[in-house]
Amino acid sequence: MKRYLAILSFGMLAALSEASDDYPPARWVPAHSGNLTTATRPTSHPILYVIIHSTQGSYNGAISWFQNPQSRVSAHYVIRSSDGEVTQMVREKDIGWHAGNWTINTQSIGIEHEAIMQDPSWYTTAMYRSSADLTRYATRKYGIPRDRSRIRGHGEVSNTPCPGQYWNWDYYMDILRLDSRYQNAVVPRVMRPGESVTVALMMENSGDNAWSGQGDQPIRLGTQNPANRSSLFYQAGRWLTPNRPAAISYPVNASQTGLFQFMMTAPRNYGTYQESFQMVKEGVSWFGPQLTFQIQVVPWDLVIDNRSGYFLAAGDWQTSDAQADRYGADYRWIAASPTQKGYARWYLNAPIEGYYDVYAWWSAGSNRSPQVQYDMEHASGVTRFTLSQQSNGGRWNLLGRFYLTRGGGFVYVRGSGNANSVVTADAVRIAGPF
């Protein structure tokens, strides 16, 4: 333990720094070459330990002190209290002079944490999480067991109180032993307003402790970017809360794969959305990769053909596939007359409430009635149209834009019409809401 009093401004540090080759989230600001031993670890010396330190001074002061040739000390990494920023100062292959124990120095990674040991406010959640991410990376890279025999404090290998009484070993080891790897996901890429889709995320427990969705500190999936964001795809009664889609579905031991399964309901507004999730042990920490999925919300575009279960033909309707401009495999037709009571009906079953464009499709012909009655039943009543089926066949013909309640909407075509002609019933389409 040393008090690092030398000062170097943050602007000067930033100008000197670049990305770390060993641990890319870290900046690289090299310690003075006289404050370390060049080596070829782990070939020259095995890396068996991670040693935890407190700086007993500022982050910038510690970095400056390791660059001072008179200090004769260095550590591999320094972590800032306020936000967990990491600066690497000694390559992992080289030996830092940090533990006051040569054997431990040769076999360890040293991590300094910005803190005054007598003041617990320095030991922030951001710093703990950043340090745990770094130590987890190092233990995975070098095969170091994640336990207190290998993750040690400075005072456990040398005569010093560092990292101090306020360093929370239980919390640190708990978050250190949390880890997960992404395996697979079933997530929609395109959705329609109000549409509900089952989502499944598969995650491997690459940590050391079992996962459970029960108890005081359950393992759950939470929203990110930002953390605990209320999701626009939240569905009441299907999510735990607006920022917690689901808990892990069943107990998952280390090296096993677990499932998060939940429903997503698309918002009303069209556009491209990004939904980000990460695992969290409630009351402890976020952990594992942040998963971001891009979902496009587009209008509903639904076709109800004469073969659909939402189609009904009442009366003496016949089936034909004679006309090439039909929609689908075939269409229905009925002999028209002024007294014909037969009708065909398409149930629109609007997915959500709103305004929809409604279209009709028919096959045209010279024997078609020039005066076909269409009735559009919507939220405000019934709108009637008289249309000719002798032209405009083989395409979508707009009936209009109508307000439909959720699950509502019917289109009728009546068999009444000119004698010696026929009326066809093929398909209708709705698009929206708008």
Q: Which fold has domain 180-298?
A: Immunoglobulin-like (2.60.40)
Contacts of 236 (CB under 8 A, 6+ apart): none
Q: How many CB atoms lie within 10 A of CB 183?
A: 12
Q: How large is the angle between the packed helices 125-142 and 169-176, nearest 10 degrees? A: 50
Q: Where are the domains of the chain?
A: 10-176, 180-298, 301-432
Instruction: For residue 246, name the pLDDT band (cuts at 50, 70, 90).
Output: very high
Residue 357 has pLDDT above 70, yes or no: yes
Average confidence (pLDDT) over 108-116: 98
Average confidence (pLDDT) over 264-282: 97
Q: How many CB atoms lie within 10 A of CB 63?
A: 27
Instruction: For residue 3, name the pLDDT band (cuts at 50, 70, 90).
Output: very low
d(CA 77, CA 28): 9
SS3 106: helix
Residue 189 has pLDDT above 90, yes or no: yes
Contacts of 46 (CB under 8 A, 6+ apart): 107
The CATH code that applies to domain 10-176 is: 3.40.80.10
Q: Which fold has domain 301-432?
A: Jelly Rolls (2.60.120)
Can you state the percent helix, strand and coil of the chain, rounding each to 5?
A: 15, 40, 50
Helix (H) or strand (E) holding 37: strand 36-37
d(CA 61, CA 56): 10
Sign of the alpha-carbon torsion through 310, 316, 321, 325: negative
Identify whether the C-beta of residue 404 lies closer than 8 Å to the C-beta of residue 348: yes
To the nearest whole percent, how much of the chain has pLDDT over 70? 96
pLDDT on residue 17:
65
Helix (H) or strand (E) holding 259: strand 257-265
Residue 2 has pLDDT above 80, yes or no: no
Instruction: For residue 28, name the pLDDT band (cuts at 50, 70, 90).
Output: very high
pLDDT on residue 12:
41
Average confidence (pLDDT) over 254-280: 97
Residue 184 has pLDDT above 50, yes or no: yes
Residue 8 has pLDDT above 90, yes or no: no
Longest dimension (CA), the chain: 109
Residue 15 has pLDDT above 80, yes or no: no
Which segments of 122-247 are extended strands (E)?
151-153, 180-186, 190-191, 196-205, 219-224, 246-247
Identify whether the C-beta of residue 413 lies closer than 8 Å to the C-beta of residue 373: yes
Instruction: Say which residue, 17 or 156, is predicted with more confidence.
Output: 156
312 burial type by CB count under 10 A (0-12 exposed, 13-18 middle, 19+ buried): middle
pLDDT on residue 14:
41
Which position has the token pair 């918002």? 267
Average confidence (pLDDT) over 23-45: 97
Tens-place pLDDT, residues 117-152: 999 999 999 999 999 999 999 999 999 999 999 999
Mean of pLDDT over the chain: 95
Q: Which two tokens stand for residue 224?
A: 């990110």
d(CA 76, CA 91): 7
Tens-place pLDDT, residues 390-409: 999 999 999 999 999 999 99
d(CA 75, CA 1): 11
pLDDT on residue 4:
36
Amino acid at 404: L
Tens-place pLDDT, residues 89-110: 999 999 999 999 999 999 999 9
Tens-place pLDDT, residues 365-385: 999 999 999 999 999 999 999
d(CA 325, CA 96): 80
